[in-house]
Amino acid sequence: MTLSLLVEASDGRARAGTMTTARGTIRTPVFMPVGTRGAVKTLDTMDLERLGPPIVLANTYHLMERPGADLIAEMGGLHRFMGWDGHLLTDSGGYQVFSLEPKISERGATFRSVYDGSYVELSPERAVAVQELLGSDIAMVLDVCTALPADRAVLRDAVDLTVRWAERSRQAHSGGDQAQFGIVQGGVEVDLRVESAERTVAIGFDGYAVGGLSVGESRSRMVPALAAATGVLPADRPRYFMGLGDPVGLVEAVANGIDMFDCVLPTRLARHGTALTGEGRLNLKNLRFARDDRPIDPGFAHPLSDRYSRAYLRHLLVTNEPTAGRIITLHNLAWLADLTARMGLAIREGRFEALRAEIWSAWAPGETPHPG
């Protein structure tokens, strides 16, 4: 696949540009909503079309298990199965697999299915084959994702095996219109991050992801490891931070040269009544919103959510009406899309640091940004 990234503007290490695939063009930085089983929770494809994300993430492991990649291919591929014409990125299933405490070998990962308890084997080659059947625009290689904190020896083994699996994944990939991204591991060990990035770049992928961060480590440990990785990754390839969705984390990642993100956080928070706003998180179940006639975020008007008052949404939440989760999900995803658009504009106008300070002030009051 011919995937190109044009970096149109930089402000420090932050960058904004356009990523072009056979399907179309994506402006970066970009946040990708997570549609685990082919749907973003509580939303349908028409909702996504109105929200307008250029790219959505789907989960290889869950789709491989139910309904099965062969069935989806028979139905015309994942785009047609979902009724979605935008871009799709599929992860390798590695993160979900490693949460199941699999048996790891050179061959791959063996684990019990969350659906029926049967034994499942996922090799690098099978992860490639499944994603080709799904027909996503961007496919991720299978990597070894470790929990943090972890011993250096564990991280070393994960880096080495991830690279060997990446080499096999690249060889197995048939190309065509599907791009393939390699994944950098190494925990919070700066030298391992650099080594992992160098070895992954040497294989030669269409883009590169940073995995195994934002898994509970402090931001002061995360940022140096991230900066070490992005410092090695080629400037003309997309850079993707896997599993990052909090506003401070997003702005810090962009400050260190990241272009793409995904996370279940905005949709998960929404289903529990928490909204993302310019004031920080708002738990709309709180009694103080019972007579609050303002929209979720008075500073952010969006037609899919700003017609509803905080009081109305609190009423829906305390009466367990599922509509509340849907409305807040629409708001949270629209709010994050607006944040990434604002970051891109700020980079182009040379005022990214001012926006960075604004996000820190609202979301981490009393703290100061990492020097980078």
226, 242 in Cβ contact below 8 A?
A: no
Q: Report the alpha-carbon distance of residue 176 to residue 372 in Å, rounded.
A: 38
82 lies in the same domain as 185: yes
Residues 255 and 151 in one domain: yes
How far, CA to CA in Å, does 204 sit from each of 17, 230, 362? 21, 15, 40
Would the CA dihedral through 70, 73, 75, 79 be positive or negative?
A: positive
With tokens 């940022």, the residue in question is 223
- Shared domain for 193 and 324, answered yes or no, is no
User: Does 151 qualify as catalytic in the annotation?
Assistant: no
> Are 345 and 234 found together in one domain?
no
Q: Give the end of a domain, one of 237, 264, 291.
A: 264
Catalytic residue among 137, 143, 262, 297: 262
Residue 290 shares a structural domain with residue 188: no
Q: Is 101 in the same domain as 117?
A: yes
In Å, how far are 44, 84, 269 from 49, measured between CA atoms?
Answer: 9, 8, 22
- Burial class (CB within 10 angstroms; exposed 0-12, middle 13-18, buried 19+) of 151: exposed
Q: Same domain, yes or no, for 304 and 172?
A: no
259 and 278 share a domain? no
User: CA 340 to CA 261: how far, in whole Å?
Assistant: 10
Integer-rounded Cα Rg, in Å, for the chain is 20
Nearest in space to 259 (alpha carbons), one of 330, 357, 181: 181
Domain-ending residue, one of 202, 236, 264: 264
- Catalytic residue, from 91, 206, 259, 297: name it: 91
Residues 226, 255: one domain? Answer: yes
Give alpha helix (H) positions in 43-151. Answer: 45-51, 60-65, 69-74, 78-82, 94-98, 124-134
> Residue 175: its pLDDT value, please?
86
- Cα-Cα end-to-end distance for the chain: 34
C-alpha–C-alpha distance, residues 80 and 76, integer Å: 6
Torsion angle defined by CA atoms of residues 279, 259, 175 and 187, in that order, rounded to the nearest 10 degrees: -90
Q: Domain ends where: 211, 246, 264?
A: 264
* Same domain (yes/no): 223, 173: yes
Domain hosting residue 127, numbered range: 7-264
Integer Cα distance of 70 and 63 in angstroms: 10
**Which pair of tokens denotes residue 369?**
């940004």
- Average pLDDT per block of 10 residues along the chain, 372 residues long: 89 98 97 97 97 97 96 98 98 80 93 91 97 98 93 97 98 95 98 98 98 92 97 98 96 98 97 97 98 97 94 98 98 98 98 96 85 56
Give the model's pLDDT for residue 1.
Answer: 55
Q: How many domains does the chain have?
A: 2
Identify the pLDDT of residue 79. 98
For residue 67, say if its preceding peptide bond is cis, omega within 30 degrees of 0: yes
CATH number of the domain at 235, please. Answer: 3.20.20.105
Confirm whether 262 is a catalytic residue: yes
